[in-house]
Amino acid sequence: MTKQSASASVEVAADPATAFRIFTDEFDLWWVRGPINFFDAARAVEMAMEPGVGGRILEIYRRGSDTVDEDVLELGRITAWEPGARLAYRSSVDDTETEIRFEALDGGTRVSVEQALVQGGEKAFYFWPNVIPWLAAWAVRRSEAPHTLRELGRLSVALYYEDPAAAARWLHEVFGLESWDRIPADGEKPSWIELHAGNGGILLFELKERPADPRPVDHGAWVYVDDLDAHFAHSQATGAKIVSEIHQHGYRCYEADDLEGHRWTFAQARPTMT
């Protein structure tokens, strides 16, 4: 049975009118540009929210001009636009409706989101409980940081742990590693954890099985390349052991082992990656 709804809330250190503006006007600034946070991460250049009822929520691949057609994925259409109080939209990619409310608190605003399956709906991507904490994190740093995008670098490191969430907390507390997303709390077990050192990603995954091999694959490198198809063809033709061919889940990638069995993941770089 499909889950009927998902909800979450965060507290933002700003009044409701300002929190609403941060949510809408700065959508592209607080959205975390991780590999799994777009429907097509290889092409995404911007997230945008058009103001007012009827406005579109967009994942943008190419902005339109007099000579170039707009290339976007419409995520939803806004159905309620009440600055400082309420925002709602109907999804264009699944069968859900989402409502975001802004409630005044002492010293700030509670931003609450509820994403619900519409009557008769069958398909739901309940991503907002994972996304809304990004807003609170951006609200904390926006007054001190330049209002520029944070773009992931071309090289990330993957580490495998029996308990990735516990490892993330340890790495945060002991080594001081931060996350553009959030550090999982005790009891949480997210499937994807991404820490950062500057714009470098440190990806933490669960070690499903510990092989009998005295040198199990417990770490690997992630590299973003400009032409994934050409890179895959070259690796395949020149001796890499292909572990998985090109596939897509938000990001396009393939996996290969090198001559001594080290695991490499190659992913398609976004146009905005330097």
Task: Give the C-alpha distances (Å, rounded to integers) separating 253 from 72, 94, 257.
Answer: 21, 25, 14
DSSP 217-240: --EEEEEEES-HHHHHHHHHHTT-
Helix (H, G, I), strand (E, B) or coil at 130: helix
* Token code pair at residue 182: 């959030």
Helix (H, G, I), strand (E, B) or coil at 111: strand
d(CA 205, CA 158): 7
Topology annotation, domain 155-268: 2,3-Dihydroxybiphenyl 1,2-Dioxygenase; domain 1 (3.10.180)
pLDDT tens track, the chain, 274 positions: 567 999 999 999 999 999 999 999 999 999 999 899 999 999 999 999 999 999 999 999 987 777 778 899 999 999 999 999 999 999 999 999 999 999 999 989 999 999 999 999 999 999 999 899 999 989 988 887 777 788 999 999 999 998 999 999 999 999 999 999 889 999 888 889 999 998 999 999 998 765 555 556 678 999 999 999 999 999 999 989 999 999 998 899 999 998 888 889 999 999 998 8
* Token code pair at residue 76: 């939803």
Q: Where in the chain is the domain with CATH 3.30.530.20?
A: 5-141
d(CA 247, CA 266): 11
DSSP 155-187: EEEEEEESSHHHHHHHHHHHH--B-SS-PPPTT
Q: Is 48 in contact with 30 (CB distance < 8 Å)? A: no
Helix (H, G, I), strand (E, B) or coil at 193: strand
Q: Where in the chain is the domain with CATH 3.10.180.10?
A: 155-268
d(CA 232, CA 221): 15
Q: What is the CA radius of gyration of the chain?
A: 20
For the chain, what's the residue count? 274
Q: What is the CATH number of domain 5-141?
A: 3.30.530.20
* Token code pair at residue 188: 């949480």
